[in-house]
Structure 1
Amino acid sequence: MNLLGKKVKNRYMSRNPKFDYLPDQDRYFSYREQPSYKFNIIGCGNIGREHMKVTMMEERATIYGVYDQNPSSIEEAERLFSTLSDHSLVKYDSLQAACHDPEADGLIICTPNYTHIDVIREAVKSGKHILLEKPMATTLRDAYEIMQLAKDYESVFQIGLQYRYKAIYAESIHETLERKAIGDVKTISMTEHRIPFLDKVNQWNKFSKYSGGTLVEKCCHYFDLMNLFAQSKPVQVYASGNMAVNFTDFTYNNEQADIIDNAFVTVIYENDVRANFNLCMFSPTFYEELVICGDKGRLKASENEDFLSAKRPRNHLEILCGEEKPSRLMTPAYPDHIETSGHGGATYYEHVYFIDNIENKQTTTATVEDGLWSVLVGLAAEQSIKLGKAVMIEEILKESQVTI
């Protein structure tokens, strides 16, 4: 009997060490797919290691090598990889070597925000498939340059705006944009309440000049979703926010931290859709919420992680349609091993679609232009806070001499 005549793929089973005693010819339900692609990770901090873990879990690719200027990050990446594979990692001593090794098919770029432009300038010379973490850049000029570099790039160039693939947002996109469950979108409201920024090597995320500012670094995910649900381009942004609690007395290398920890952002779109975003980064929980009101109903989705022993569903989605058609209450979720692999499973599916893109399958991944617009809204919001007034997108584009 040929057990491999039909391959049954269950990645939870294939990665389960309980079945490691089985020879390959006896794996059927626990069949482990042989990777077709090799990726190098550039930047091995928390998110780089998350990409490593989900690459190995997804199985169609493997991590071939790593590059990071911080030796401790390399050591931690090696430690993690040893639990995921019997192979050893190639450790590169330069960005050039990591980008141009012919053994690697793709590059996963997870370096600090302000380094993205320089890394991309080198990476595109390789012609390899590229997955660039968000935000794509910290300035509009740099984001525009990256968009131009990607414009005629023959390989895949994907931006890491993976929140589109969280269970609650994937279902919200389907219900709102495909099923038209709530009719035409009129207003969008998003919330993120969470703990402060985590520690980073050289603490770069505590300084706007390195991160792009909180509303670029952290919130570009949400601005991407707002832009997507609006199905239009933003024309005006007004924001208020300040540094109320976090890092008010934090200095590093004699430099005072300057990132805001709370904000309210209002965005008006060309098609007259209104959107707002509510941020608090000194909350004792991780909570996200999306509320979309259309002319035929209301959608609300939320994700919660509050660290309490009294458990409740992590995800919630409701569609209320009054008397016109049935309303629904749902709990969108992925298998637990996927949701706990990082960002509610979004990073895992980002990799699924990265490889699908490589294999010329149709996906809904964020384009490089989508990445630019998510950064642009964040930059406009940061500028609005500084100026204390609404900012027109057209004026920002003109100031930066950028035409989109």
Structure 2
Amino acid sequence: MQEKHTSNNYYTGFFKSDHLMDKDKYLFAESRPDYKFNIIGAGMIGQEHIRVTMLEGRAVIHGIYDINAGSVENTKNMFQEEFPGRELLTYSTLQEACRDPEVDGLIICTPNFTHLEVLEEAVKSGKHIMVEKPMATTLEDAARIKKMAESYNGVFQIGLQYRYKAIYSEALHEILERKTIGDVKTISIMEHRVPFLDKVDQWNKFSEYSGGTLVEKCCHYFDLMNLFAESKPAKVYAVGDMDVNFRDFEYEGRRSDIVDDAFVTVVYENGKKASFNLCMFAPMFYEEITICGGQGRLKAYENEDFLPVERPSTHLEVLSGESGTAKIGTPCYPAVIQESGHNGATYYEHKYFIDNIQGRQQSTATADEGFWSIVIGEAAERSIKTGEVVDVKEMLKEV
């Protein structure tokens, strides 16, 4: 049985150790990293990956690359402030960043539409790769990346990390392992949130660069649907619109064209049914999943509403009637992990990435799973435009 890994950096999130000399530190001793990673794309998400890498402790960030000088300078300043005394390299070309012999892994956080181009260079290095979601913006690019990953010798992981959020991790355990509610019949997921935040060059306001809202953001939820359904999507129908956000937004002469609300229905090959409700002009961050099975129902939610009222930010309930025990709880991680990014999901994404590098196999999002999350998003975007039900097999004939 393998030992559980606990980074010494974890303890420093709760206790002060400045009064100790280095020779007196054991629990507080700085973790000695086994690996060095480079960050490709030094924006907001790149900084999150830097912080989580350093917190997890088995790897260190060696360098960064970004074509935007402002992003590079901002991330260098962040790194120096938060990790004083550590060196951070910067590279002048993507090739240099990917092929540095000192580096073991690459974390790709560039804008969605650049992923294929970056990956075509990254795979030449043979290094372990983690690429942010969505792995591509079109079915054609996603299919090429999927094929690329099939023959890749290193770890090739997609950043669909919502499966590691506490509520979804517990839900997956209850439904797929414990089978608490019996055979799953229906899956319903909701996301209500504030509009897309600002990005460099505002690329996330344009479908051409983001893949569209239902690919860019909602691939997370379609990945979850696929996991719970344990099947592939057969038909997709969606309605949606650009009702509130960015209706008058222009950037360099172009008008935004992304939907800000939608209802998506998915029928799976095994007959299971799923629905997704999106609203991106709500004054909070709220996610909810409700799954009904032959022997019960599971409901879980995560909420951040910016109010001063003290209440749990997560909730999970399992109701099994006379079929079994009921459960009500508030799934969460330790605060230092929960607050490190995406409510702890990014931390575990990194933890399992390194476990896989070390040969301690963990279930992480594959390129195949990344592909199918994009399939539903693309089908939903098409359905909104045409008003028709999209047959997935027919759509995939184009690829």
1:104 and 1:212 map into 2 onto residues whose CA distance is 31
Query: How many Å apart are 1:78 and its aligned residue?
Result: 1.1
SS in 1 for 2:323: coil
Query: How many Å apart are 1:13 and its aligned residue?
Result: 2.2
Tell me whether 1:284 sits opposite 2:293 in the alignment: no
1:258 and 1:131 map into 2 onto residues whose CA distance is 29
What's the TM-score, normalizing by structure 2? Answer: 0.97
SS in 2 for 1:298: strand
Partner of 2:42: 44
2:247 and 2:85 map into 1 onto residues whose CA distance is 46
1:359 and 1:229 map into 2 onto residues whose CA distance is 28
**Counterpart code for 1:177:** L
Query: How many Å apart are 1:17 and its aligned residue?
Result: 7.9
Partner of 1:61: 59
SS in 1 for 2:30: coil
Query: How many Å apart are 1:16 and its aligned residue?
Result: 6.2
**Counterpart code for 1:174:** H
Superposed, which structure 2 residues align to 1:117-128 within 5 Å? 117-128=116-127
Query: How many Å apart are 1:231 and its aligned residue?
Result: 0.2
CA contact under 8 A between 1:14 and 1:32: conserved in structure 2? no
CA contact under 8 A between 1:15 and 1:32: conserved in structure 2? no
Query: How many Å apart are 1:76 and its aligned residue?
Result: 1.6
Match of 2:68 among 60, 67, 70: 70
1:376 and 1:363 map into 2 onto residues whose CA distance is 24
Query: How many Å apart are 1:19 and its aligned residue?
Result: 1.2
Superposed, which structure 2 residues align to 1:146-225 within 5 Å? 146-225=145-224
Partner of 1:299: 298
**Counterpart code for 2:170:** E
Partner of 1:92: 91
Distance 1:124 1:159, change over 3 A: same
Partner of 1:4: none
Query: How many Å apart are 1:81 and its aligned residue?
Result: 1.2
SS in 2 for 1:284: coil
Deviation larger for 360-369 or 51-60? 360-369
CA deviations on 1:127-171 (whole Å, 9 max, x unpaired) are 000000000000011011111111111110000000010000000
Partner of 1:25: 23
- What RMSD in Å do the two structures reach over aligned CA positions? 1.3
Query: How many Å apart are 1:8 and its aligned residue?
Result: 7.6
Partner of 1:81: 79
2:188 and 2:343 map into 1 onto residues whose CA distance is 20
Superposed, which structure 2 residues align to 1:297-376 within 5 Å? 297-376=296-375
**Counterpart code for 1:269:** Y
CA contact under 8 A between 2:10 and 2:56: conserved in structure 1? no
CA contact under 8 A between 2:7 and 2:57: conserved in structure 1? no
2:322 and 2:38 map into 1 onto residues whose CA distance is 54
CA contact under 8 A between 1:8 and 1:28: conserved in structure 2? no
Query: How many Å apart are 1:23 and its aligned residue?
Result: 3.0
Query: How many Å apart are 1:21 and its aligned residue?
Result: 4.2
**Counterpart code for 1:356:** D
The size of the alignment, in residue pairs, is: 394
2:20 and 2:394 map into 1 onto residues whose CA distance is 63
**Counterpart code for 1:98:** A
Unaligned runs of 5+ in 1: 1-6
Distance 1:91 1:17, change over 3 A: farther
CA contact under 8 A between 2:296 and 2:321: conserved in structure 1? yes
CA contact under 8 A between 2:8 and 2:31: conserved in structure 1? no
SS in 2 for 1:323: helix
Distance 1:25 1:149, change over 3 A: same
Query: How many Å apart are 1:20 and its aligned residue?
Result: 3.5
Unaligned runs of 5+ in 2: none
